[in-house]
Structure 1
C-alpha cells in the first residue's frame, strides 16, 4: 500500500514536469499561451515558475529558470523514492 502511494506521488511529479516542458515549448509558438489550453497551462505552471524567475534573472533573451524548475522537480521525484526507502528500512527494522 505504501509503495502505491509513493508511486502515485512520483508519477504525479513526472506528469507535472512533462506538462511544464510542454508549457515552456508553447512560448515558441505565437498565440499559443493566449488560447484556452494556454491559459489553463498558465494557471498550472506560472505559480511554480514565479519563485524561480525571481531568483534567477534571464540571460539576455533566454530564461533559464524553467530548466532549474525541472531539475527541482526531478530531484523531488528522487527524494520521494529516497524517503520511501528510508520508511521501508525503518519499518523492516
Structure 2
C-alpha cells in the first residue's frame, strides 16, 4: 500500500471512528440516563441528530434504549471495516467479515470507552475530588451504573474503594476473551477497537 493510500486510509478511518464514538456515546448516555441538559450531552445529540432521527422512523427504541443509535454505531463500524479492507487489501469484504467484525468492534469500543472513563474518574478523584465540571459529571454518570453493583459486594474499606479496580480487572478478562475470539474468527485485524 502506497503512502497516499495509507494517509487517506488514516484520515477516513479517523473521521469514521470519531463519529462512531459520538454516536455510541449517544446510545450510552441514554442507556445510563445521563443528564440530557449537560452541554456535552447537548453537543452529542446535535452532532448525531441528522443521522439518528431518520433511523428512528425505521428502528424504534426498545425498553428505553435508543436502538437507532446502536444500529447506526454498528453500521459505522462495518463502514470502517469495509473502508479498511477496500483500501488496504484492494478487496471487497464479505458479509460475515462485516457482521462479525462490526460486532467485535462495537464490543471493543464499549470496553475502551468505559476503560477510559474509569481511568479519568480515578485521576480526577486524586487531583480534583468533588469537581463539578460538566465532563466529569457526565463521566461519573457513565461509570457509576457499572461500579455501584460491585461496591455493594465490596464496600469501601478504610477510605479506599476497590470497586473500580475489580471492574478494571473484570474488563481486562473480557477483553482477553474478545481478543482471542476475534482472532479465532479471523476478524482481529479489522476490528480496530480491539487492537
Interval containing the TM-score (normalised by the shorter chain): 0.7 to 0.9
Matches within 5 A, 1:48-59: 48-59=146-157
Partner of 1:83: 181
1:71 paired with 2:169, answer yes
Please identify runs of 4+ aligned residues in structure 1 that moved more than 6 A: none
Unmatched runs of 5 consecutive residues or more in structure 2: 1-97, 187-195
Unmatched runs of 5 consecutive residues or more in structure 1: none
Q: Which structure is richer in relative contact order (CA contacts within 8 A, separation 6 or more)?
A: 1
1:23 paired with 2:128, answer no
TM-score normalised by length of structure 1: 0.76
What is the CA–CA distance in structure 2 between the aligned matches of 1:50 and 1:15, rounded to whole Å? 18
Bigger mean CA offset, 18-27 vs 75-84? 75-84
Contact 1:23 1:41 in 2 (8 A): yes
Aligned length, in residue pairs? 87
1:14 paired with 2:112, answer yes
Larger radius of gyration: 2
> Cα RMSD (Å) of the superposition?
2.0
1:28-60 alpha-carbon deviations (Å, 9 max, x no partner): 21332x221121011100001001100112220
